[in-house]
Amino acid sequence: MKQFVLLSLTCLTLWGCKQAPHKEAPFKMIDQVDFSQVHIQDNFWSPRLKKHISTTLPVCIDQIENQTGRIRNFENAAKREGEHSGIFFDDSDVYKALEGMAYSLINNPNPELEKKADEWIDKFAAAQLPDGYINTYYTLTAPEKRWTNMDKHEMYCAGHMIEAGVAYYKATGKRKLLDVCIRMTDHMMSIFGPGKRDWVPGHEEIELALVKLYQTTGEQKYLDFADWLIEERGHGHGSKGGEGEWDPFYYQDDKPVREMSDIAGHAVRCMYLYCGMADVAALKQDSGYIESLNRLWDDVVLRNMYITGGIGSSRHNEGFTEDYDLPNLDAYCETCASVGMVLWNQRMNQFTGDSKYIDVLERSMYNGALAGISLEGDRFFYVNPLESKGDHHRQAWYGCACCPSQISRFLPSIGNYIYGTSNEAIWVNLYIGNSTEINTDNTNVTLRQETNYPWDGTVKLTVTPSNPLKKEIRLRIPSWCEQYTLSVNGQLVKAPTEKGYAVLNKEWKQGDVISLSMEMPVKLMTADPRVKQNIGKRAIQRGPLVYCMEEVDNPQDFDNLKIAANTSFNAQFNPKLLNGITTIKATTNELAITLIPYYTWDNRKAGKMKVWIDYNE
Give the residue numbers marked as catalytic: 318, 402
Classify the C-alpha dihedral 403-409-410-411 as positive or negative: positive
Q: With 0-12 CB in 10 A as exposed, 13-18 as middle and 19+ as buried, what is 193?
A: middle
Strand, coil or helix: what is 10? coil
Backbone angle region of 482, left / alpha / beta, with phi > 0 → left and psi within -120 to 50 → alpha: alpha
How far is it, in rounded angstroms, from Cα 169 to Cα 163? 10
How far is it, in rounded angstroms, from Cα 486 to Cα 492? 6
Helix, strand, coil content of the chain in percent (nearest 5)? 40, 20, 40
How far is it, in rounded angstroms, from Cα 145 to Cα 138? 7
Ranges of beta strands (E only) in 376-433 are 387-388, 419-421, 425-428
For residue 226, what is the enclosing H or E element?
Answer: helix 220-231
Is the peptide bond prior to 412 cis by the omega test (within 30 degrees of 0)?
no
Where b means 16+ CB within 10 Å and e means fewer, 265-282 reads bbbbbbbbbbbbbbbbbb
How far is it, in rounded angstroms, from Cα 397 to Cα 384? 15
Single out the residue of 565, 525, 573, 575 nearest to residue 548, CA to CA.
525
Which amino acid, one-letter code, is at 204? Answer: E
Distances from the Cα of 408 to the Cα of 99, 513, 605, angstroms: 8, 35, 25
